[in-house]
A = this chain, B = another copy of it.
Amino acid sequence: MHERQKRKRGAGGVVITASFRRDTGESIQQQLYLRVRELILTGELSIGQRMPSSRVMAQELGIARNTVAAAFEQLQSEGYLVSKIGSGTTVSEKLPEELLITSARPSEEHSDRAAKLAVSERAEHLMQLQGAGVSWLPAFSPGLPAVDEFPYVVWAKLVAQEWQRTGIGSMNNDAGGYWPLRSQIAEYVNSARGVKAEADQIIIVSGNREGTELAGQVLLNPGDLAIVEEPGYAGTKSALTAAGVKLIPLPVDEQGLVVSLVNGTHRSARLLCIAPSHQYPMGCTTSLERRLEILNWCKQNSCWILEDDYDSEFRYQGRPLPALASLDPHANIIYVGTFSKTLLPSVRIGYLIVPKDLIQIFVRTKLAMSGPTTMISQRAIATFIESGMFYRHVRVMRKIYAERREALKAAMRRHLPMLTIPAQEDAGLFLISTYQLSAIPHEDIEVARAAKAVGLYVVPLSVHYLSDNKQNGLIFGYGALRPDDIDEPIRRLADVLQNLKTDHKA
């Protein structure tokens, strides 16, 4: 580190010391500029004070006159110095005292904002919601797909190809999304989900949450009511809360959302959110009868439906039920799909299917909220689908997940007999268990906390409730765990429970 300390006594008695460092990459000019600015802001150079001439100063500091002149010019252009014919260069008189004082404080106090301003109500509400975090651990993040089986090399090649060949094509000129991908999605939901949609009803988003918030923004006014499943997916609830929507929890049973329980003012709800193919976190499928009841209720009460179809690709017995949107193409349904489960959450691509007459307003709002969705991922997915690799990948994954699910069940029977496995579909990437406090004398949040301390991530069921009528349970994601790797973490969780019990008795 080379350092030179220079000292200059100016014409008006001004003393300027400046240390120039050669190793910072900052030019001498910039260092001088910063130094003088600092002296002004801290009050060491007072208002109206005359500066030495650039010639004199250059000489005394042993630097080039051009350098001093350039630094002065910058200070002048920014208003710190003023130059008048006859009186030379002086510190500006327009700098208010207030600025000088505040800037002199050390930067560490940054969080001590002078006057703390309040944040919004929706942000406050959001902070009170539980369970909407992100944490990806193979054991046992729900919704984490087989990160060990993803074709990274192929995908990396696809993505690299797109970056190299597209140039300005990497820019998104169609805010609704890459057209070939939208066409492929239309075909896919038609054949796989029975949804008759066309490409111009599809808008590409960065995932389920963005899609849900977008729907909330477009369809509901702040303060409007939305019915959500109780228990239900935290992501839906936080996305709607961010949109300023008020949530009404409505219980689910084995048949799905109990829409007959809606009463009183809740009939004015403007949106009803469900995951009919595979309810999260209870794992049930909404029965056809209940589906029809829900469609009917929404029609009668002029209520939008948000159908979250996040993992219907993975069903290990029978075929998935067709989407709700396939039952009545004339209903006011917004369908949300995602590639987070079939590919990876990190591809950050999902989609909404909306009624044709609303596509423009959805696209405009999406653009306003977050700009267009990354084009490279869209193009890469389109190629992946086009080549047939996508369908092959989903088929292979379905088999893999079925095995992992069986391995998980076996490990749970072995090590966690105190947990109840309620009736649920053999589907998706998670398994829900429940328990009574007589079996495990600890709230699920406590269990989750103790598990986290040993590197295991189990999501407690209770955080998925908005009301106080909660059930204790643990949710196990198995998507990223090879069958051989499932027993060990389950055994460790059993140990955690054992230790908790011991502590309790002690």
Does B213 contact A370, Cβ atoms closer than 8 Å? yes
Does A288 contact B173, Cβ atoms closer than 8 Å? no
Q: A318-B74, A364-B127 are in contact. Are A369 and B153 (CB under 8 A)?
A: no
Alpha-carbon distance between A95 and B293 when the two chains are bound, in angstroms: 10
Quick one: which of A311-353 are within 8 Å of B by CB? 318-319, 321-322, 327-332, 344-346, 348
Shortest distance between the CB of A200 and any CB in chain B (Å): 10
Alpha-carbon distance between A132 and B363 when the two chains are bound, in angstroms: 11
Residues on B with C-beta less than 8 A from A244 are 222, 244
Does any Cβ of B come within 8 Å of A167's Cβ? yes
Does any Cβ of B come within 8 Å of A85's Cβ? no
Alpha-carbon distance between A327 and B103 when the two chains are bound, in angstroms: 6
Does any Cβ of B come within 8 Å of A23's Cβ? no
Shortest distance between the CB of A144 and any CB in chain B (Å): 7
A209 interface neighbour in B107, B132, B206, B367, Cβ under 8 Å: B367
Shortest distance between the CB of A397 and any CB in chain B (Å): 16
Shortest distance between the CB of A220 and any CB in chain B (Å): 5
Alpha-carbon distance between A242 and B244 when the two chains are bound, in angstroms: 11
Residues on B with C-beta less than 8 A from A288 are 78-80, 92, 95
Alpha-carbon distance between A289 and B136 when the two chains are bound, in angstroms: 49
Does B361 contact A119, Cβ atoms closer than 8 Å? yes
Does A114 contact B369, Cβ atoms closer than 8 Å? no
Shortest distance between the CB of A175 and any CB in chain B (Å): 5
A168 interface neighbour in B78, B95, B123, B480, Cβ under 8 Å: B480
Binds B, one of A7-15, A257-265, A294-302, A482-490: A294-302
Alpha-carbon distance between A80 and B173 when the two chains are bound, in angstroms: 45
Does A78 contact B148, Cβ atoms closer than 8 Å? no
Binds B, one of A58-66, A156-164, A407-415: A156-164
Does B126 contact A364, Cβ atoms closer than 8 Å? yes
Alpha-carbon distance between A374 and B33 when the two chains are bound, in angstroms: 38
Size of interface on A: residues with Cβ below 8 Å to B: 135
Residues on B with C-beta less than 8 A from A223 are 222
Does B368 contact A126, Cβ atoms closer than 8 Å? yes
Does A103 contact B329, Cβ atoms closer than 8 Å? yes
Residues on B with C-beta less than 8 A from A328 are 99, 102-103
Shortest distance between the CB of A86 and any CB in chain B (Å): 22
Closest to A377 in B: B374
Interface string of A367-390 (1 = CB under 8 A from B): 111111111110000000000000
Shortest distance between the CB of A368 and any CB in chain B (Å): 4
Does any Cβ of B come within 8 Å of A179's Cβ? no
Does B175 contact A117, Cβ atoms closer than 8 Å? no
Does any Cβ of B come within 8 Å of A191's Cβ? yes
Does B207 contact A370, Cβ atoms closer than 8 Å? yes
Does B371 contact A302, Cβ atoms closer than 8 Å? no
Residues on B with C-beta less than 8 A from A303 are 117
Interface string of A14-45 (1 = CB under 8 A from B): 00000000000110001001000000000000
Does A367 contact B238, Cβ atoms closer than 8 Å? yes
Does any Cβ of B come within 8 Å of A196's Cβ? yes
Does any Cβ of B come within 8 Å of A218's Cβ? yes
Residues on B with C-beta less than 8 A from A219 are 117, 119-120, 123
Could you list 7 further interchain pairs (A-B, Cβ under 8 angstroms) beyond the known A121-B221, A374-B374?
A78-B322, A105-B329, A109-B330, A111-B356, A120-B218, A159-B376, A209-B370
Top 4 A-B residue pairs of the complex, sorted by shortest distance between their CB atoms: A79-B288, A238-B368, A111-B356, A222-B222
Can you list 5 A-B contacts (CB < 8 A)?
A26-B191, A110-B196, A119-B218, A152-B164, A242-B369
